[in-house]
Amino acid sequence: MAPRFGARLVIAITPADVGKRVTTRRRVPGGHRDAVGVLESWHDGVLTVRKRDGSLVEIAEDTLAAAKVVPPAPPAR
C-alpha cells in the first residue's frame, strides 16, 4: 500500500495575534468549517473573527483543528 500524504493541521496562532488576519478551521458535527478574517478577540477560550462581510464568528478554542496568520486581503478592484 502506498503511503498517504496529507496536509498537516497546525494551530499557529495565539492571543498575541489579535488584530491580525487569520484563517481558521474548526471541528463541527459532520466535518469542519473555515473562517478567514481579522482576529478581533480571544477571551476565556473563545476566539472572535470578523469576516470580510463584517459578520463575527465565535470559535471555541477547543474546537480548533488548524489556524494560522495570513497576509492582508488584497485591495478591492
The model's pLDDT over 18-34, given as tens digits with 9 standing for 90+, comes to 999 999 999 999 999 99
Enter the pTM of the model. Answer: 0.86
Number of domains in the chain: 1
Q: CATH number of the domain that 52 lies in? A: 2.30.30.520
Q: Region 34-61: what's the mean pLDDT?
A: 98
Per-residue pLDDT at 1: 56
| Structural domain includes residue 35 | yes
- 4-21 confidence digits (pLDDT tens): 666 678 999 999 999 999
CB atoms within 10 A of CB 76: 5
Task: Give a yes or no: residue 7 inside a domain.
Answer: no
> What pLDDT, on the 0 to 100 scale, is given for residue 76?
80
DSSP string, 53-76: TS-EEEEEGGGEEEEEE-PPPPPP
